[in-house]
Every structure is written in C-alpha cells, then in structure tokens.
Structure 1
Amino acid sequence: MTALLQLSRWIDAFTERVGRSVAWLVLITVVISAGNAIVRKAFNTSSNALLEIQWYLFAAIFLLGAGYTMLRQEHVRIDVILGRFSKRTQIKVDIFGIVCFLFPLVITVIAMVTPLVIKAFETHEMSSNAGGLVRWPVFALVPAGFALLGLQGVSELIKRFAFLQGLIEDPTEKKQAKSAEEELAEAILAAEAAKKGDAK
C-alpha cells in the first residue's frame, strides 16, 4: 500500500499542476471574448476563428479541469441519503461508484471518441464556418480530459482503500477551506497592504 500511496501522491501533484495551468485559460478566454466584443461593436466586424477559439478554450477548461475538480472534491454530490451513513459506508459507496461507473465511463468515452479524433486529424477536418478552425484539437480534448479524470480516479480509489485500512485521514475532505473568491479577495487585500507599506 505504501507504493500505491506514493503513486497517489504523484497523481495528485500532477493533477494539481494541470489544474493550475488550465486555470490560466479562463483569463485567456475572457481576454479573447472581451476583445472580440469590442472589435464587433467598435468596427462592426468579427472573426469566426476568434469565436471558435473561445469554445475550444471553454472545452479545454471543462474537460482538462475535471480531474482537478475531483482532486478538490468539488464535483456535485447528493448526500441526502448517503450522509446519514457512517464515513466508512460512504467511502465504500465511493469505491463502488469509481469502479462501477467512473472507470467504465472513462474507458467507453475514450474508446468511442479516439477514432473520431484520428479521422479528423487524417482528413484535416475544418469547421463548416467561414474562417473557422481545424477540428481535431478540440476533438482530442475529450479523450485527454477523460484520461486525466480516470487517472485521478485511480488516485481517489487508492486513497479510499487506504482510509479503510486506517492509513490516511478522510480523503473526501475538501482540499481547500476557502473558496476561489475568498482566496482572490485575500490576495487583493495583501497586494493593497503591500502597496501601502511601500508608500510609507
């Protein structure tokens, strides 16, 4: 189990790096979206490529960030019934869900989508919109995102078995006590305090 926990820590660290990198795509998406809106209103022109890149980036954020969301325990959970049971029972239900639902879903999606990605790559499939983008990169996000989700699922499964053996603390506890908004507010306040300190 020690080796498996080491693997789990490696997966968690990898997922953390991916999630933090993907978060920057939100800023890029906002900048492109704002720029496109300004150009459209100011010059009465637009670009299908810019519109499509927004959709591509949104897909990247959603798909590539799925594993990170699982790591942070932020996926939607319906605990109305399950919350009445002991933590060990909840963990066992999680294990059942990961093995019987998550892994089969990941394998099925990757198996079904990969041929479409290969075909789009080989045929250089393009958007049907004038000036649109090539399609295979956004298609490739689907198997990539599900692969990352499945990889994090392996880590979560290891942690749940380790918890049942009393080797680690509750793996379902959220990894951050503060929301992203609270962290941002604290960062802004710290920056303002630093500026005031420099002014003195």
Structure 2
Amino acid sequence: MLKTIIGSAERIATVVGKGVAWLTLLMMVLTCLIVVLRYGFGIGAIALQESVLYLHALVFMLGAAYTFKDDEHVRVDVLYRGFSARKKAWVNIIGGLFFLLPFCFYTAYLSTDYVAASWAVMETSQEPGGLPFVYLLKTLIPIMMALLIIQGIADILKNLGVVLNKHPMMEAL
C-alpha cells in the first residue's frame, strides 16, 4: 500500500517533469528566433518574447516536484552530507512536515483569490501584442503547490520507511 502511494506520486512528478523538460528546447529555439528577428530583420515580437517567459514558468513551476523527487533541489548540506541515512531521513521528515508542506499549503491558500481574480477578468498581457493568457500563467502557482504537496508527502513516507527500517522496500520503487 505504502509502496503504491509513493510510486504513484513519484510517477506523477516524473511524467510532468520529463514532459516540461522538453520545453527548454522550445525555449532555446524561440529565443534564437527572437534574436534573429530583432537584430537580423529589425522585427520585435512581444508575443514571442512573452511565450519564452511562459515556457520558463512552465518548466520551473511544473518541474519543481520532479527536481525535489530526484533530490536535485538546492540544499545547504554542510552538516547533512555527513549524516547517516537514518539522520538524513529524520531531517527530511521534519523539513517536510514543518517547512515544505506548511509553505505549500499556505502558498496555495494565498494564491486562490489571486488566481480567481485573474480568471474572473480573463487577465491578458499589459503589453500591446502580448499574450492573452496571464490567467493561465497565474494558475501555475496552485498547480505547483499541489505537485509539491503530493511529492512532499511521498518523500515523508519514503523517509519514514528508512526510519522504521523498511527502506529495502522503498529502494524497490
């Protein structure tokens, strides 16, 4: 049961993370196109510039849970790196319960009215010729929090397995 929950959560993070990772290639192509249009032909393209911004937001916000799952997030591990697996698991459990999850729930809560207000007016770019999807961009905030909550719970459960000496089961994921 525990293995199924953790595996499902990690599959969600993996599918979303690997999916949005491909957007970096599209960002690179669009950035090159913007440079060629601007400096080669003197053509400015606000919508293209904003699309790179949107793609960057998609990659960063939807890839955060995947990065967390693979333990590739920023960590100041001056002490942590020398800890045993069990001590690391305790740090991860405490960090998840008292920092990650409260932050994610609070941010999701705070973003609700912000996103709803944007959807209510179908918010668009303030720039002439910009993209009319600002409300979709803002929707990434609660989606990111939901993905991090799911992955955070999976991480806490996995680390509980380490603390309770059930980690061989967890390694099979």
For normalisation by structure 2, the TM-score amounts to 0.92
Equivalent of residue 54 in structure 1, options 52, 55, 65: 52
AA aligned opposite 2:105:
I
The answer (yes or no) to whether the contact 2:34–2:44 under 8 Å persists in 1 is yes
Equivalent of residue 107 in structure 1, options 97, 105, 108: 105
Q: How does 1:97-136 map to 2 (within 5 A)?
A: 97-134=95-132, 135-136=134-135
AA aligned opposite 1:116:
Y
Distance 1:73 1:28 in 2: 25
Identity over the aligned pairs, expressed in percent? 32
AA aligned opposite 2:151:
Q
Distance 1:129 1:62 in 2: 23
CA apart distance, 1:170: 10
Q: How does 1:160-171 map to 2 (within 5 A)?
A: 160-169=159-168
RMSD over aligned CA atoms reads 1.8
Is 2:139 the counterpart of 1:140? Answer: yes
CA apart distance, 1:87: 2.2
The residue that corresponds to 2:67 in the other structure is 69
The answer (yes or no) to whether the contact 1:163–1:170 under 8 Å persists in 2 is no
Larger Rg: 1
Task: Tell me the alpha carbon deviations over residues 134-153 of structure 1, each in whole angstroms, 9 at most, x when there is no partner.
Answer: 21011011111121111111
CA apart distance, 1:85: 3.4
Q: Which runs of 5+ in 1 are unaligned?
A: 176-200
Q: Which runs of 5+ in 2 are unaligned?
A: none
Q: How does 1:35-54 map to 2 (within 5 A)?
A: 35-54=33-52
Distance 2:112 2:35 in 1: 34
2:38 aligned counterpart, secondary structure = helix
Aligned pair count?
A: 171
Q: How does 1:170-185 map to 2 (within 5 A)?
A: none
Distance 2:92 2:99 in 1: 10
Distance 1:30 1:170 in 2: 41
The answer (yes or no) to whether the contact 2:104–2:148 under 8 Å persists in 1 is yes
The answer (yes or no) to whether the contact 1:5–1:158 under 8 Å persists in 2 is no
CA apart distance, 1:101: 0.3
AA aligned opposite 1:13:
R
AA aligned opposite 2:157:
I
AA aligned opposite 1:40:
R
Task: Tell me the alpha carbon deviations over residues 25-69 of structure 1, each in whole angstroms, 9 at most, x when there is no partner.
Answer: 101111111111111122201111111111111011001000000
AA aligned opposite 1:152:
Q
Is 2:92 the counterpart of 1:94? Answer: yes
